[in-house]
């Protein structure tokens, strides 16, 4: 009969192998328990940008308030479809009226700008006398001239100025026009109106 000693029972199991204490069975090395990440370029970038990452509360809020897929409209019958069609037609009509109103306002504004600009630097000279109908003004009934001054009268009727000096009618006309004599004395003509039978 084989009798084992107490020390032998404590150090050996039934299979005659040396026994391990409980702390040795669950032992994990410190290096394995606290693994350090590998020092790579991507780890450095992630570590530097970690303060810029949104907090978990912010991420949870955006996930909770995400846009949900729109649900299909429930068919409520023919009367609802008719009312919806009327609303759509009325909306299209209101858009058309609003667009036409905007177009009218823009046209009126442009007309005012063009009128003021024409009045500021242009003038219409009509009833051109025969002694002035030479060169560019041959058979001219009227012409548009560029004014060297700002604003002033936009229309000039040359027929109302009498010829005071028959020997030099152009000089007589310029004297009567006074400060506006440049419309007949070397004018900057923009457009000439010639009658069809001229």
- Cα–Cα separations (whole angstroms), residue 25 to 13, 21, 109, 150, 170: 14, 7, 94, 106, 127
**pLDDT score, position 25:** 62
Q: pLDDT below 70 — which residues of the chain?
A: 1-34, 37, 51-53, 65-78, 197-198
Cβ atoms of 176 and 161 closer than 8 Å = yes
pTM attached to this predicted model: 0.50
Name the percent of the chain lying above pLDDT 70.
Answer: 72
Strand order, beta sheet including 188-193: 155-157, 122-126, 142-146, 188-193
**pLDDT score, position 78:** 67
Q: Based on the number of CB atoms within 10 Å of its own CB, is 111 exposed (0-12), middle (13-18) or buried (19 or more)? A: exposed
DSSP run (H or E) holding 48: helix 41-49
Give residue-wise pLDDT tens across range 119-175: 999 999 999 888 888 888 888 889 999 998 898 888 999 988 888 888 888 888 989
**pLDDT score, position 20:** 54
Name the maximum alpha-carbon separation found in the chain.
Answer: 168
Q: What is the gyration radius of the CA atoms in the chain, in angstroms? A: 51
* Three-state secondary structure call for residue 76: coil
């Amino acid at each position: 009969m084989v009798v084992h000693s107490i020390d032998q029972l404590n150090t050996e199991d039934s299979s005659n192998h040396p026994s391990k204490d409980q702390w040795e069975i669950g032992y994990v090395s410190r290096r394995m328990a606290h693994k350090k990440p590998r020092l790579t370029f991507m780890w450095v970038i992630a570590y530097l940008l970690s303060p810029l990452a949104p907090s978990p509360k912010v991420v949870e809020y955006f996930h909770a308030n995400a846009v949900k897929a729109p649900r299909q409209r429930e068919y409520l019958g023919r009367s609802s479809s008719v009312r919806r069609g009327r609303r759509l037609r009325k909306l299209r009509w209101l858009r058309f009226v609003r667009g036409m109103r905007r177009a009218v306002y823009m046209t009126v504004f442009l007309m005012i700008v063009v009128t003021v600009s024409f009045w500021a630097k242009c003038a219409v000279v009509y009833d051109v006398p025969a002694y002035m109908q030479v060169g560019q003004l041959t058979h001219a009934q009227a012409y548009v001239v560029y004014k060297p001054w700002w604003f002033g009268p936009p229309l000039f009727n040359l027929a109302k100025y009498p010829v005071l000096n028959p020997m030099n009618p152009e000089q007589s006309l310029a004297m009567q026009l006074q400060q506006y004599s440049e419309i007949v004395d070397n004018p900057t003509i923009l457009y000439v109106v010639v009658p069809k039978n001229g």
